[in-house]
Amino acid sequence: MAAARGLLPLAQSELLEALVFLRSDSDIAIAQAAQATLDSQTSEDLLNVARSADASPSVLTYFAARTDFRHELYEAVTTHVNTPDTAIASLASTTADGSLLELITLNQQRLIRAPEIIEAVLANAARTAEAERRAKEVRREFFEKERGAKQIAGELRAQGNAAAAEFFESAELQPIDGVLSVDDAWVLAQHIEVSDVDIDDSWLARELIEEMLVETPEQAAANVQAVLAAEKLDVGEVATERISLVRRIMFMTVKDRVKFALKGDREARGILIRDSNRVVATAVMHNPRITDKEIENISAMRTVSEEVLRLIGMNRAWARSYAIIHNLARNPRTPMPTAVTILPRIQQKDLKAISENRNVAEGVRRQAYRLVQTRSGK
């Protein structure tokens, strides 16, 4: 009873913890006394306890359950690491303070840990547009997508498409421009043909991984437009279905595009080889299903990165193809050292054409001219 009346020499935080406990005492007199003492505490004393590092979870839960305290106290309760998730969920469902709901949704880790908080925020009529956006975003990114990806992966395995299932089990699935729908996922799945066991990622050096980490929505949008423009240059008018596939692929994160480049089919490789991120384009070259005919086509493209053309020139198997080295030699995008190294293997009539081709780099044309003169005895 002495404790319930606040007569014991306790620190403020200890007193409140005792009072919260005693308000549920089986002795009605003690419970009533404890509640009366709690009601007599000043706002400043309560706030100091709520802000103290050693605040008891039971006291913070009591604060969260009340509806008549100051906004500052609820802020302290919301941001306190000792506040139980159940208390935050209760507060999110009862508060009429929209700004407090925004503060609750800032703690993404708590929302992931306790999804009932998300539902409480979304069910509260006092929620602001910002609070609703954050709650829905977390629900989509960490719950709906995860369930959707697992379901899709399971169905793909049942259909015998293990390669696509592996992709959806490991991909981040965080499109830069919004939601990856189930329809999007199924379309992408049809363009995956390489299993994880067939992939060699030893080429992916640590310095390249750093280039995979950051890409802004603006950069992604510019990349999509650049790929579409490049496709139009290389293959002519781009069909509507192709544009749709390009957008689905190119708006994935860089990490997912690298995985897709390693696992994708011919159509996917044809899109990703034009990616402005050199790691993605390089990944296409390490796809185990890429064919010599594809390499021949790529070597003639004027919209791929110089790094891709350099890798083709360095590959002994590909460099044995005359069509490939001929394309590299006359491609203005081919790095000069690569082109000059190739020239001695070019036939005389083709070499003469290169020496007269104004689209070829000046240094390559001059070297081709010297070789033509040398071979003709001049």
Over 313-358, what HEC string results? HHCHHHHCCHHHHHHHHHCCCCCHHHHHHHHHHCCHHHHHHHHCCC
Residue with tokens 């040398």: 374
pLDDT mean over 49-67: 94
Amino acid, single-letter form, for residue 294: E
pLDDT at 152: 74
pLDDT digits (tens, 9 = 90+) for 98-143: 999 999 999 998 998 899 999 999 999 999 999 999 999 888 777 7
Q: Which of 252, 266, 255, 308 is nearest to 285 (CA)?
A: 308
Over the chain, what is the mean pLDDT? 89
Q: Which of 58, 136, 128 is nearest to 97 (CA)?
A: 128
pLDDT at 315: 94
Distance between CA 252 and CA 136 in Å, rounded? Answer: 20
pLDDT at 365: 93
pLDDT at 147: 57
DSSP 192: B
pLDDT at 63: 95
pLDDT digits (tens, 9 = 90+) for 265-312: 999 999 999 998 888 999 999 999 999 999 999 999 998 999 999 999
Task: Using the predicted structure, report yes or no on whether residue 373 has a pLDDT greater than 80.
Answer: yes
Task: Using the predicted structure, report yes or no on whether residue 179 has a pLDDT greater than 70.
Answer: no
Task: Using the predicted structure, report yes or no on whether residue 146 has a pLDDT greater than 60.
Answer: no
Residue with tokens 């390490």: 286
DSSP 178: S
Distance between CA 160 and CA 163 in Å, rounded? Answer: 9
Amino acid, single-letter form, for residue 96: A
pLDDT mean over 248-276: 91
SS3 state at 264: strand
pLDDT at 14: 94
